[in-house]
Amino acid sequence: MVEDFIHKKVGSIKFGIMGPQFIKKMAHAKVVTPELYDKEGYPVDGGLMDVRMGVIDPGLKCKTDGLKLKETPGYFGYIELARPIIHIKFVELVLDLLRLTCKDCGRILIPETKIKEIKDELDQISKYGSDAERRNYLKEVVAGLKTIVKCPHCSTKQLKVKIEKPTTFLEDEKRISPIEIRNRLEKISDSDLEVIGIDPVMARPEWTVLTVLPIPPVTMRPSITLESGERSEDDLTHKLGDIVRINQRLFENINAGAPEIIVEDLWDLLQYHVTTFFDNEVSQLPPARHRSGQPLKTLTARIKSKEGRIRHNLAGKRTNFSARTVISPDPKLEINEVGVPRVFAMKLTVPERVTEWNMEYLRGFIERGVDEYPGANYVVRPDGRRKRITDETREQLLEELEPGLTVERHIMDGDVVLFNRQPSLHKMSMMCHRVRVLDGHTLRLNPAVCAPYNADFDGDEMNLHVPQTEEARAEAEILMQVQTQLISPRYGLSIIGCNQDAISGNYLLSQKDFKVSREEAVDILMAIGETEFSRLPNKKEVTGKEIFSVLLPTDLSFSAPNKNYKVAPEDPESTVVIKKGELTQGVLDKNNLGDGSGLLLRQVHKLYGPEKTVVFLGKIYRLGIEILYRLGFTTSISDTDLTVEGEKQVKKLVDDAEKKVQQYIKDYEDGKLEVLPGYSAKETVELRILEALNKARNDAGEVVTDTQIHSNTTDMIKSGARGNIINMAQMSAVVGQQDLRGGRVNKGYQGRTLSCFEQGDMGSKAHGFIKHGFKDGLEPSEAFFMAMTGRDSLMDTALRTPKSGYLYRRLANAMQDLKIEYDFTVRDASKKIVQFAYGEDGVAVAKSEGGSINVKKIIAETINA
Amino acid sequence: MEKLIQEYAEKLPEKIISDIIENMPAGTAAAKQKKIFEAVYNEYRSSLAEPGESVGILSAESIGEPSTQMTLNTFHLAGVSEVNVTTGLPRIIEVLDGRKTMAATNMEIHLKSPYSEGKDVTVVASQLRETPFESFVNELDINITNASITAKVDVKKIEDAGSDVKKVIKLLEKGVKGYKFSEEKGIITIKAAKEDNINDLYKVKEAIKDIYVCGIKGLKQVIPVKRDDKYVILTSGSNLKDVLKLEFVDETQTVTNDIFEIEKHFGVEAARQMVINEINKVLDNQGIPIDVRHILLVADAMTSSGSVLGINRYGIVKEKPSVLARASFETPIKHLVSAALTGEVDTLNSVIENVMMNQPVPVGTGLPNLVTKGIMNPDHHHIAKEDKKAKAK
């Protein structure tokens, strides 16, 4: 079936200035009175709210097209200005033209021969150069002209033209009236204008001096009716009212033959009003204000800035069929699923076209209707009319149902939706998920996809969008689904992997001594959605590795070091070995399962593709968590206990460091300290102290590692699930030196940081060394130093966010047009070549391995094959 | 092997070929070799970026997203308070902005042997430092009775620094015009050429203190540092032209972080490389992994016009052909007004204009077009006719 729409595309937009004839031609009403409404509240004919310019009241009809409110686009009107008025936005141009052209003959002040030269050059540029080059050349031409004093065509001496901002032009201290200006501009010939880059067809210069002012349609300046029934007009209407009023007065005064001075004053006032109508933020003029004192928002303010038309309404779009609420985790979901609350599913719909073959199926949805899930909300006819399904309409709609209609049915499991979290900093901030309709009131996602969204569950909210056309769904599925986004285009490694509990769980599972009964193993596999147990060895007790192996592809062979390899390379458990789909050796941890390098995941992705990887990842993720469910996993304060021996060692370390510091200070004071090259003595001592104290903290960390008692916390650290040894050391041993702006804490009072220290005290304690651990508790001064660095980092974040945001906006704006063309060159919007091959070799980062092609691996594989 | 290399030289990038040569085990059979080349070529083909990929946005995202994690602080180089080094986000902003003046310029001066091994490094370094007259003066007085300034200079120190008193006086004369200088036994007397009042003399006294007499102009601080067995001199301030003239300087390695200076002396390709190096330096420093391709693209976008353009409304954005694209960035009114004057046509070739028009954008899946014969509905026939008429006109 062929749709009877004609799809039209905007091909190009030409810019220009509206001349008086044009304005009158496009206008549908001439405005002659500042009044808005008559006594009945009906818009006055010839007033600013004239119904020929569109309607904003229900019940009225536009006289131009006969359409009602919200249907009529609105039409322009115009007013005839009593005297010409200079358009504030073209003042610069007018000034340039007055200076560049002869006041007598209107020719441009360039000799005939040179005009030709310039024109030729311009032709060359427009043929081969860019618009920007053309603009620059024109600027040069104009700049080189300003010193000529005698017209080369008629030899008239030129007087110096000055501008008194904003809109007064002076020639030899005498004012040039806008009438005179307009006359001069009219005299400039079309061919001369081309020399200075003005298109005489689109922009005759005299049009910049207004004789007729277009009145924007009523629909773009609607009035608001307040609760009291009073009408509050739009700022533009206010401003236009002023203009019309003064214009009428000026007319009357001129006709009555009033003295020149009165006419001049009114003329200036009219100029002021028209100027502020266009731009209420002209620096030399006081802004026009409301009676309350707040400045009016006129045309310029409507267009510019973030809240203006361009960035807010044109570049920013809004959607229907979207939802937003708090998110929460659910590892039982697949990685590429999203849990949608039923109440959402009953509001969000997918249009489904009725055909002979699905009619019965869709009939069921209509029968269930709005209140029953899965139902449908609307039936749409081919002409675009929508009918809501209610108890009254249902019967009729069912009867009328025929191929060609569209049923908007509730979203169901497996439907394609887009899921997004702000700030949407990269393309993985908006991915395509499959719907899973669930009980509850939050949107649910697998915690493995937290990383790309940068989400956590402390109250984060996320958005959901339902694509409404087949094209949109196809694109979403093929280009945006989670499995297609596994490899980050930023650095070519995976950004989705196991995290936190999933790593801890698999770490514990793959320990050498992990054994469960076969029954329990089957139970575990069932719980994570694996129903194929035949690969589980048929014996009474199975090991964790055997359970894990069930999930592996049968032909996978793989070997890689884990986190422990660096510490104990000789330990066989430090190398993960998989032989023909069987995990034979090694403890799984972040190096193999996590995001980033995630070696095992990367291998699976490479060999089996994204689809399988996502399924595999989902399973091992759930497996990790299931193991923790069964084992129980918690962290306690006693995990941070040190052994007696450890405590002794830490104490000694700290004491030694402090002694060393004292020694440095003493040396410094005696002038015995050996000064480092390029540093002063003071800087040297600071550096030495810092070095000694940081060493103490690092050594303490080692002591903690060496003496710690095995606990869940250490398991988390070892597996890379969460936390590191420094966190641990800070809790149980020493917090260490607080770093403020690249050094020890040196701010505060004169000669000291806090009033509890003596002036000139250079000791460790007085400059932010915290010798206690968090578990022991901090001294008041120590807590204060912590708070100082804490505050400093908060400030840093607060100042950084807008800066990096602006940088990002600029980058995105500058680079958005660069794309790879069919000839594999990178070009910008004007087809100018930026790179001959993308990244010099044409390789896409997301398709590579960490940004390059792993030649070594290919060679090894080919040779072994 | 040779034959294979030649065969694939056109098909594969140099880097990959050299990788293959490097990793090919000795004694691999010719057939295997061919297979390897074939496999690598296939892998390369399947890793190519597809036409229509909007690599610009990808790069912008890749740099913009992690920029929220960078630090703001500027650091002192190795703890020395005079040598400021801008790092982190501020440095990235500075480089991408294409700023002509930078917060902190630094040079890394590499030395030729034997200086690079540590011979006389401190002496060499001190010769580089811009030294004002003040540091050679032991006493500086005003003699009120005969309205003159007397400066007792340390002649030996001047000579150590590779200059002599006469040269110094010449430089001083250049610095303060209208004064006579005379020297006698290490005492420089300064007198006004014409009648002068004492107040002016005070000003002159202060002025001559800061006049630079030797070293290299602009190098405010120099520090010799040992780096991988070699001594390099780090400086605060930059003067590439004069430094490269010195014979003990290894001109093949010496760099400044001032991109415009590089552009001036070595051209735009060098400046492009500098942009890449500087951004990479910050990213390495912050431990943020970003593929080079993104940085290459940004650097290429900044320099492809032939000079270094900033990523701002005065640089790249200004050069855009589309009115609406420029207007949507900053200062929209200005762009609209100038477009109106010149009767510019926006052909809607790039992304943002089409977003504004609610039309498909010409990247990715929006790129391909399909030419078909449409079936015209007879009801709409009059529209087509009108179109034709309009075109004929």
Give me the residue from A89, A819, A848 closest to B363, CB to CB.
A819
pLDDT interval class at A863 (50, 70, 90): confident
Which residues from A are below 8 Å from B47, CB to CB?
843-844, 847-848, 853
Distance CA B49, CA A826 (A): 11
Distance CA A726, CA A165 (A): 65
Residue B246 vs residue A421, higher pLDDT: A421
B143 in contact with chain A, both atoms CB, cutoff 8 A? no
pLDDT interval class at A156 (50, 70, 90): confident
Maximum average pLDDT range among A64-78, A686-700, A729-743, B288-302: B288-302
pLDDT of residue B255: 87
A628 φ/ψ angles, rounded to the nearest 5 degrees: -65, -35
B5 in contact with chain A, both atoms CB, cutoff 8 A? no
Mean pLDDT of B90-116: 84
User: Which residues of B, range 168-197, sit inside 8 Å of A by Cβ?
Assistant: none
User: Which residues of B, range 335-374, sit inside 8 Å of A by Cβ?
Assistant: 336-353, 355-359, 362-365, 367
- Range with the poorest average pLDDT among A552-556, A714-718, B162-166: B162-166
Give me the residue from A475, A686, A821 closest to B365, CB to CB.
A475
DSSP per-residue letters across A643-704: PHHHHHHHHHHHHHHHHHHHHHHHHHHHT-SPPPTTS-HHHHHHHHHHHHHHHHHHHHHHHH
Mean pLDDT of A604-613: 88
> A707-717 burial by CB neighbour count: b if 16+ within 10 A, else e?
bbeebbbbbbb
pLDDT single digits (tens) B9-57 = 888 888 888 888 888 887 778 888 888 888 888 888 888 999 999 999 9
pLDDT of residue A147: 66
Residue of A nearest to B79 (CA): A683
- Range with the poorest average pLDDT among A129-138, A217-226, A603-612, B350-359: A129-138
- Range with the poorest average pLDDT among A225-229, A694-698, B91-95: A225-229
∠ Cα A490 A492 A493 (to 5°) = 110
User: Residue A271, exposed/middle/buried by CB under 10 A (0-12, 13-18, 19+)?
Assistant: buried
Which residues from A are below 8 Å from B380, CB to CB?
4, 6
Q: What is the percentage of chain A residues whose pLDDT exceeds 90?
A: 31
Residue A473 vs residue B89, higher pLDDT: A473
Give me the residue from A199, A817, A820 closest to B350, CB to CB.
A817
Put simply, the answer to whether A833 touches B304 (Cβ < 8 Å) is: yes
pLDDT interval class at A339 (50, 70, 90): very high
Mean pLDDT of A111-125: 77
Give me the residue from B60, B61, B377 closest to A4, CB to CB.
B377
Which residues from A are below 8 Å from B378, CB to CB?
none
- Is the previous residue joined to A374 through a cis bond, with omega within 30 degrees of 0? yes
Residue of A nearest to B318 (CA): A132
To the nearest whole Å, the CA of B146 is away from the closest chain A CA by 41
Mean pLDDT of A586-609: 85
Q: How many helices (H) and strands (E) does chain A have?
A: 25, 28
Q: What is the pTM of this model?
A: 0.88
Average pLDDT, chain A: 87
Which residues from A are below 8 Å from B67, CB to CB?
804, 807-808
- Mutate which of B96, B320, B324 to test chain A, going by most A C-beta atoms within 10 A? B320
Dihedral sign of CA atoms A231, A237, A239, A244 in order: negative
pLDDT of residue A410: 95
Which residues from A are below 8 Å from B321, CB to CB?
130-132, 829-830
pLDDT interval class at A1 (50, 70, 90): very low
Put simply, the answer to whether B291 touches A490 (Cβ < 8 Å) is: yes
To the nearest whole Å, the CA of B2 is away from the closest chain A CA by 17
User: Which residues of B, range 259-318, sit inside 8 Å of A by Cβ?
Assistant: 289-294, 296-298, 300-301, 304, 311-312, 315-318
To the nearest whole Å, the CA of A68 is away from the closest chain B CA by 25
Distance CA A80, CA A58 (A): 30
Query: How far, in Å, are A175, A841, B12, B22, B273 from residue B15 at the CA level?
Result: 71, 9, 8, 10, 18
Distance CA B102, CA B256 (A): 12
A90 in contact with chain B, both atoms CB, cutoff 8 A? yes
Mean pLDDT of B294-322: 88
A640 in contact with chain B, both atoms CB, cutoff 8 A? no
Residue of B nearest to A684 (CA): B79
Residue of B nearest to A15 (CA): B340
Structural domains present in chain A: 23-84+214-284 (4.10.860.120), 90-206 (no CATH), 322-485 (2.40.40.20), 501-631 (1.10.274.100), 638-781 (1.10.132.30), 819-864 (no CATH)
Long-range contacts of B287-290 (CB under 8 A, 24+ apart): B288/B66, B288/B69, B288/B70, B289/A490, B289/A491, B289/A493, B290/A490, B290/A491, B290/B62, B290/B63, B290/B66
pLDDT single digits (tens) B198-214 = 677 777 777 777 777 77
To the nearest whole Å, the CA of A437 is away from the closest chain B CA by 30
Residue of A nearest to B89 (CA): A804
Asked if pLDDT for residue B339 goes beyond 80, the answer is: yes
Distant-in-sequence, close-in-space partners of A491: CB < 8 Å, separation ≥ 6: A845, A850, A851, B62, B289, B290, B291
C-alpha closest to that of A166 among A103, A239, A67, A88: A88
Any idea which residue has 């993960």 for tokens? A576
Distant-in-sequence, close-in-space partners of B262: CB < 8 Å, separation ≥ 6: B240, B255, B256, B270, B271, B274
B49 in contact with chain A, both atoms CB, cutoff 8 A? yes
Give me the residue from B19, B46, B67 closest to A855, CB to CB.
B19
Residue A87 vs residue A857, higher pLDDT: A87
Which residues from A are below 8 Å from B322, CB to CB?
829
Mean pLDDT of A248-257: 86
A863 in contact with chain B, both atoms CB, cutoff 8 A? yes
Put simply, the answer to whether B341 touches A822 (Cβ < 8 Å) is: no
Put simply, the answer to whether A863 touches B32 (Cβ < 8 Å) is: yes
Mean pLDDT of A49-73: 83
Put simply, the answer to whether B49 touches A851 (Cβ < 8 Å) is: no
Mean pLDDT of A161-173: 79
pLDDT interval class at A453 (50, 70, 90): very high
User: Which residues of A, range 16-35, sit inside 8 Å of B by Cβ?
Assistant: 16-17
Which residues from B are below 8 Å from A833, CB to CB?
304
Q: Do β-strands A322-329 and A443-445 pair in parallel, antiparallel, or remain unpaired?
A: parallel
How many CA within 13 A on the CB side of residue B93? 20
User: Which residues of B, range 100-139, sit inside 8 Å of A by Cβ?
Assistant: 122
Which residues from A are below 8 Å from B32, CB to CB?
862-863
Any idea which residue has 């937003």 for tokens? A324
Asked if pLDDT for residue B174 goes beyond 80, the answer is: no
Which residues from A are below 8 Å from B23, CB to CB?
855-856, 859
Average pLDDT, chain B: 80
- Mutate which of A306, A817, A856, A857 to test chain B, going by most B C-beta atoms within 10 A? A817
Determine the residue type at B294.
H
Asked if pLDDT for residue B135 goes beyond 80, the answer is: no
Mean pLDDT of A257-270: 86
Asked if pLDDT for residue B393 goes beyond 60, the answer is: no
- Mutate which of A135, A857, A859 to test chain B, going by most B C-beta atoms within 10 A? A859
∠ Cα A522 A524 A525 (to 5°) = 65
Distance CA B197, CA B147 (A): 8
Distance CA A141, CA A162 (A): 20
Which residues on neighbouring strands pair with residue A431, listed in sequence order? A419
Q: How many residues does chain A have?
A: 865
pLDDT interval class at A378 (50, 70, 90): very high
Put simply, the answer to whether B48 touches A847 (Cβ < 8 Å) is: yes
